[in-house]
């Protein structure tokens, strides 16, 4: 959000008895930040969003964050994750914050760098040299033992929580939304793109959003091209699921299979509430 390297279905059963508002653990979820490094190519974005109701509507955006948090944090209370920090063993160092910024995937470094420009005396600033050294690796060199405590301490500061929000929006939410609107997608499709952006990261290789989208477009036309929206989203989810499994065989794909696919099968292209879905065996409901 956060991501495990793999969730081998043969040996790690779904945590069906976990409460819907459970604390995230390293066995709960997986996001592949393959293309989130400093050299990642960005997905080309269409122009400004038009006047239609989009996921940027405050109520719809809140809903989107709740659904993402169910997979990323094991909770609907996404604001509870600002102080989250853990190495979940996925090869990307520490995972932290509301969508799982990682010490190994550049986005955590740029978050702390930007925040430190405006707040130079923050608790994380002393770790910037180490963050630069470990960027792109899973190393903790220079971060242990104090970095997790410093992150949690700084997460109590309103300005740092706002910085996390801004990084989430500028790096993931807004690019996904522009791309989805450009493809003629409604609210469900916009969410599908956003969740994919959070999990896979922006980029053009086959494991990133651009590559998944390209694979889907080979099978179905987007609504902007005159295609059927439900058919296109089905192709996109198929391509995304394949990318997840190709990258990490055995990974749990329930955020696609029993959440987004469920909404699609129900024909809920407008992401209307009430909603009910499952992720990693847990059931979530939004009235």
3-state SS string over 85-134?
A: EECCCCCCCCEECCCCEECCCCHHHHHHHHHHHHCCCCCCHHHHHHHHHH
CB atoms within 10 A of CB 283: 12
* pLDDT on residue 88: 86
Is residue 132 predicted with pLDDT exceeding 80?
A: yes
150 domain residue, yes or no? yes
Cα 244 to Cα 250: distance, rounded to the nearest angstrom: 9
pLDDT of 175-184, one tens digit each? 999 999 999 9
32 domain residue, yes or no? no
Annotated catalytic residue within 90, 107, 154, 282: 90
Is residue 65 predicted with pLDDT exceeding 80?
A: yes
Cα 151 to Cα 82: distance, rounded to the nearest angstrom: 9
Residue 112, both tokens: 């702390």
E strands, 122-225, in order: none
Cα 253 to Cα 273: distance, rounded to the nearest angstrom: 23
Residue 24: pLDDT band by 50, 70, 90 thresholds? very low
* pLDDT on residue 107: 93
Residues contacting 192, CB < 8 A, separation 6+: 180, 185, 233, 236, 237, 260
What's the mean pLDDT in 48-74?
Answer: 86
CB atoms within 10 A of CB 274: 7
Ordered DSSP codes for 208-220: SHHHHHHHHHHHS
Mean pLDDT rounded to a whole number for the chain:
85
What's the mean pLDDT in 261-274?
Answer: 97
Entry field: residues in the chain: 287
47 domain residue, yes or no? no
Residue 281: pLDDT band by 50, 70, 90 thresholds? very high
The whole-model pTM stands at 0.82
Residue 140 — left, alpha, or beta (φ > 0 → left; ψ -120 to 50 → alpha)?
A: alpha
42 domain residue, yes or no? no
| Number of separate domains in the chain | 1
167 domain residue, yes or no? yes
What's the mean pLDDT in 119-131?
Answer: 98
Cα 222 to Cα 261: distance, rounded to the nearest angstrom: 17
Residue 5: pLDDT band by 50, 70, 90 thresholds? very low
Closest CA to 36 of 207, 238, 226, 280: 207
Is residue 211 predicted with pLDDT exceeding 90?
A: yes
Is residue 205 predicted with pLDDT exceeding 70?
A: yes
* pLDDT on residue 72: 87
Q: Is 169 marked active-site?
A: no
Portion of the chain with pLDDT greater than 70, in percent: 82
Portion of the chain with pLDDT greater than 90, in percent: 77
83 domain residue, yes or no? yes
Q: Kindly report the backbone phi and psi dihedral angles of residue 34, in degrees, each rounded to the nearest multiple of 5, phi listed first.
A: -50, -40
Annotated catalytic residue within 28, 32, 72, 154: 72
* pLDDT on residue 51: 44
Place of tokens 């209307």: 272
CB atoms within 10 A of CB 162: 12
Cα 27 to Cα 4: distance, rounded to the nearest angstrom: 6
pLDDT of 151-169, one tens digit each? 999 999 999 999 999 999 9
Is residue 108 predicted with pLDDT exceeding 50?
A: yes
Is residue 45 predicted with pLDDT exceeding 80?
A: no
211 domain residue, yes or no? yes
**Cβ proximity of 167 and 114 under 8 Å:** yes
Q: Kindly report the backbone phi and psi dihedral angles of residue 198, in degrees, each rounded to the nearest multiple of 5, phi listed first.
A: -65, -45
What's the mean pLDDT in 45-49?
Answer: 43
More confident residue, 61 or 105: 61
Place of tokens 């853990």: 86
Cα 131 to Cα 147: distance, rounded to the nearest angstrom: 10
Cα 283 to Cα 18: distance, rounded to the nearest angstrom: 9
Any idea what the CATH number is for the domain that residue 266 is in?
A: 1.20.141.10
Residue 27: pLDDT band by 50, 70, 90 thresholds? very low
Q: Is 225 marked active-site?
A: no
Which residue(s) pair with 277 in the sheet? 284
Residue 41, both tokens: 């190519």
Residue 274's domain comprises: 58-278
272 domain residue, yes or no? yes
Residue 10: pLDDT band by 50, 70, 90 thresholds? very low
Residue 40, both tokens: 């990642």
Residue 254, both tokens: 């329930």
């Amino acid at each position: 959000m956060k991501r495990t390297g793999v969730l081998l279905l043969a040996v790690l059963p779904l945590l069906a008895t976990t409460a819907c508002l459970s604390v995230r653990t390293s066995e709960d979820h997986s996001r592949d930040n393959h293309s989130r490094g400093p050299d990642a190519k960005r997905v080309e974005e269409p122009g400004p969003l038009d006047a239609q109701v989009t996921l940027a509507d405050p109520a719809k955006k809140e809903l989107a964050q709740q659904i993402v948090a169910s997979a990323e944090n094991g909770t609907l209370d996404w604001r509870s994750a600002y102080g989250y920090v853990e190495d979940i063993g996925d090869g990307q160092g520490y995972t932290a914050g509301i969508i799982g910024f990682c010490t190994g995937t550049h986005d955590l470094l740029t978050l702390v760098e930007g925040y430190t420009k405006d707040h130079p005396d923050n608790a994380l600033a002393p770790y910037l040299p180490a963050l630069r050294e470990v960027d792109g690796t899973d190393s903790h060199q220079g971060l242990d033992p104090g970095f997790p405590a410093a992150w949690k301490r700084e997460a109590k500061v309103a300005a740092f929580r706002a910085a996390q929000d801004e990084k989430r929006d500028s790096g993931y939410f807004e690019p996904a939304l522009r791309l989805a609107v450009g493809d003629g997608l409604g609210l469900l499709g916009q969410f599908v793109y956003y969740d994919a952006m959070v999990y896979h990261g922006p980029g053009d290789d086959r494991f990133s959003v651009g590559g998944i989208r390209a694979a889907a477009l080979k099978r179905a036309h987007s609504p902007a091209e005159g295609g059927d929206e439900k058919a296109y989203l089905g192709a996109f989810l198929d391509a995304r699921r394949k990318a997840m499994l190709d990258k990490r065989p055995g990974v749990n794909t329930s955020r696609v299979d029993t959440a987004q696919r469920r909404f699609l099968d129900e024909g809920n292209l407008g992401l209307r509430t009430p909603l009910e879905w499952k992720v990693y065996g847990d059931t979530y409901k939004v009235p």
